[in-house]
Structure 1
């Protein structure tokens, strides 16, 4: 009984609501700044070409702590549900690893594609763009969850259902680097899930099944 209670406590996500709440509170605080100060703050934490080419690699981490506007309720709820589900299934460390790998990996790949195509002296709009937020980590986590659905048929439906709407903007003229980043993060997450580095059932759930049996 004592072991079962400990396992149940481990399944309760705490990092996901803490992160989403902190991002939302930070967004409201940032929104109170004057326009120039707010833009300067967001640009200083953006994973854009100017910052990364200048060696400001810390933005790969800090960019996930800022958003341009407070999260709309539907998006905030979807982000919280996705991250909390991943944390409950895989544990805090693995879930955070997927989020970080998707966020950092997609940011670096987008930077690699942009750095030879945009002008930095003087910088054009793409080079100095505000590129902050949780969306890359969100898409990576969503992709990893889809790729670790236990049932093969449901897994195929889930991955196809995610890929179709995310890849559509990338294939159209006028696509943005953010569109490419979302698709990249989703594929990275699916690769992590399909690669066997994440369980298709949470470790605690497997142990709990053994205890019941």
Structure 2
């Protein structure tokens, strides 16, 4: 029994951020269920990283908003989020996962807030957008998915990046919503952060299956409208193909020896042949 408990504790220690974060999300969601919709609406309004809260100096929402999820049934998204975070923590380690998650969540939030503030200032959007609710884990989750670039085999890495950026951009254009744009920014931030990560990866069938499930979850977060669900896969596939071909072309050019310049050839002159 002690050996079994020790093994479980050791495994949980490898995914301590995932366990802690998911436990908090579960506790908050259960509290909303018990307290009712009135408390839910109040907390969402207070925790939202919208222009109203940020302009009033409520910077705590930059972290608190990641603890309040308002995205459909808990039994659907929580297992997939757990799968994604656990996979990233196993490959990238805890500190790197935390960095990627926070950079994506806070960075995408600030970029979206700046864009909304400029749009309101120039009259492109109504002032009511300043109080729009903006909570959840989606920015951090998609940044984590982008950071998984470091774990993808180098041969397929360009296609992976090309797919997610193209699919995210298409979703942002078709969805025409600030959260869709934030999702794309979060993916890009995750990819950029992954350039600082380097970790040898040994993929097993179980880990590969976790990657498939995590990718499916990430795609649903990106393309959560019927129109984007149809267009994003096509755009993503084209983006993956283009990125893969560009990477192959650059690799082929880099492997070719540099041609000798004509002036160098003239200076070198004919080479003597040494008799054996």
TM interval, shorter chain, is 0.7 to 0.9
Q: Give a deviation string over 1:126-153, Cα, whole Å, max 9, x none.
A: 21111111100000010010x2135222
Which has the bigger relative contact order, CA under 8 A and spacing at least 6? 1
Cα distance in 1 between the residues matched to 2:107 and 2:177: 17
Contact 1:24 1:70 in 2 (8 A): no
In the superposition, relative to structure 1, how do residues 28 and 10 fare at CA in structure 2: closer, same or farther (>3 Å)? Answer: closer
Matches within 5 A, 1:142-161: 142-145=145-148, 147-161=149-163
Contact 1:110 1:177 in 2 (8 A): yes
Question: What TM-score results when the alignment is normalised by the length of structure 2?
Answer: 0.62
SS in 2 for 1:25: helix
User: What residue in structure 1 maps to residue 181 of structure 2?
Assistant: 180
Cα distance in 1 between the residues matched to 2:19 and 2:183: 22
1:66 to 65, 68, 79: 68
SS in 1 for 2:88: helix
SS in 2 for 1:148: helix
Give the greater-gyration-radius structure (CA).
Answer: 2
SS in 1 for 2:119: coil
Specify which structure has the higher proportion of helix: 2
User: What residue in structure 2 maps to residue 209 of structure 1?
Assistant: none
Structure 2: give runs of 5+ residues left out of the alignment.
1-6, 202-276
Task: Report how many aligned residue pairs link the two structures.
Answer: 189
Task: Say yes or no: does 1:32 pair with 2:34.
Answer: yes
Contact 1:148 1:198 in 2 (8 A): yes
Cα distance in 1 between the residues matched to 2:164 and 2:50: 26
Structure 1: give runs of 5+ residues left out of the alignment.
203-213
